[in-house]
Homo-oligomer: A and B are copies of this chain.
C-alpha cells in the first residue's frame, strides 16, 4: 500500500519477518563472538578442541540460516515493500541484506569448509615458521590459501572485476586496486619527503621515557583516559591478551576491548587502549533502533580503522591531549614525570623512525609498510609475483621505501598474520583509515575548536560529531559516500600528508 503514510512500512509484516530472521542469525553471532573472546582471554588451554567443535557447530547453524531459501524469499518480498514505500532506511536495509545473502549463497559449503580447514593449518604453520624463521615451511600453504581465495573470488564474480579487487571489496566496499594504486602514488613520495626531513634532524628518545612503568598504574590510567574520551564501560569491558583487539558481542550494548601491558614502556598500552577504544566507540555509536541488522553494523574496515586512528593519532598524540592528561598521568608517576611538559610529551610519543615491524611503526612511516604489502598482494593475484619471490622482494622494497632491511624473514615477510588466514586485500584498509581520519579531523575542525576542547578535557562534541555522521549511519552509505557526506569532500590523500607534515614541523621543528 503506497499511500501517504510511508511511516507504516517499517511495520509491514514482511519487514517484521525479515527482522526476525536477521535477529536469529545475529543472536548466534553473539554467541560466536563471546566464545571467541573467551578463547582469547580466559579459556584454559585444555578447552581448545572442545571450543573449536562448539564454534564449528554454531557457525554451521548460522550459515544455514544465512543461506536459507526462505530468507531469500523474504528478502525478495521485502524489496518490493521497500521499493514501494520510499523509506530510505528500508531501502538501505534490503540492499545490504540482499548483498549479504547473495554473497552467502554463492559460496559452496565445500569451499567454505576447505577454506576454514586450510586457514587453521596455515595459521599454525605460520606461527611455527615465524618462530623458526622458516619461510619454506609456510610457502606451500600460503600458495594454497591464494588458490582458495581465487576460487572464493570467482564465486563472487559478476563481470570482469579482478579477483584481487573482489577480495579487497570484502573489507572496503567500492575500493579498487587502480584507485588504491593512485593513492599510493601520491602518499609514498609525500611520506618519504617527510621522513627525510625528520631523519635529517633526529630527535633521540628522552631519558624520562625509559621506565620502568608500573603495569597496574598504566592500566588504571589508560582506563581513565578511555573513559574520558567517551568509551562507555557500562557497555564495555577491558581485558588482557597477547594481541589487542576490539570485539562486539552485541553492538551497541556490549563492546569490549583488550590490551597488553609491559613495564618497559607506556606507549604500547596507552595508545593501544586508545586505539581499541576508538574502534569500540564506533560500535557503541551504532544505531540501536536497528539492532541485529546491517544498519547497526560497521560499513568497512577502513572506516573502522579511521575511528581507532582518529583517537589514537589525531587526538591522542597531539599537544592539547597532553595538556589535559599529563597532570592526570603524573598522579600515577609523580617522580618520572615531574619535569616533563606537554610539548615534550607530545614530541616523545611522535617519533619518526623507519623500522622493520608494521605494528610497531610510527604514524608517519606506517603508510609505507602498507604500500609495500599492497604491491606484493596485487602481484600475487595478477600473476606477476610468485610466493617464492616474496622474501627477496620484501627486503628490496623495505630498503627502497624505508631504507631499512630485515636480516631475516621473521622480521620481514613472516611478520603479519593476515595472509595465513586468507585475508588478501585487507592491508589497504589501514592506510585508508588514516586518510579518512585526517579528513574527519579537518572537517570537525571547521565546526569545533578541537584543540581548545581537547586541551580542556572536553571530548563530547567531537564524539557526537562522529556518532551522528560516521557511526549511526551504519551500512546505509558506502565508505566513500559516508566520507563525502560527513566532510563535504571526496577522498583526498593530501589531507593526511599535510597533517603529518604540520605535526612533524610542530613536534620536531623541521
Contacts and interface: CB of A to CB of B under 8 A. Distances in A.
Interface in A31-69: 31, 34-35, 37-38, 41-47, 49-51, 53-54, 56-58, 61
Contacts of A234: 44-46
Nearest to A291: B50
A58 B29 CA distance: 11
Contact of A57 (B28, B249, B250): B28
A38 B233 CA distance: 16
Interface stretch (A9-17, A235-243, A356-364, A409-417): A235-243
B50 A254 contact: yes
B35 A50 contact: no
A334 interface: no
B235 A47 contact: yes
Copies of this polypeptide in the complex: 2
Contacts of A467: none
A253 interface: yes
Interface in A136-167: none
A456 interface: no
Nearest to A37: B38
Interface residues of A, number: 39
A23 B254 CA distance: 30
A30 interface: yes
Contact of A235 (B42, B44, B53, B256): B44
A111 interface: no
B253 A46 contact: yes
Interface in A57-110: 57-58, 61
Contacts of A253: 46-47, 49-50
A49 B169 CA distance: 33
Interface of A: 23-24, 27-28, 30-31, 34-35, 37-38, 41-47, 49-51, 53-54, 56-58, 61, 232-237, 239, 249-250, 253-254, 256, 291
Shortest beta-carbon contacts, A-B, top 5: A47-B254, A46-B235, A50-B250, A30-B54, A27-B57
17 contacts: A27-B53, A27-B58, A28-B54, A28-B57, A30-B53, A31-B35, A31-B54, A44-B233, A44-B237, A45-B234, A45-B235, A46-B234, A47-B249, A50-B249, A50-B250, A51-B249, A54-B249
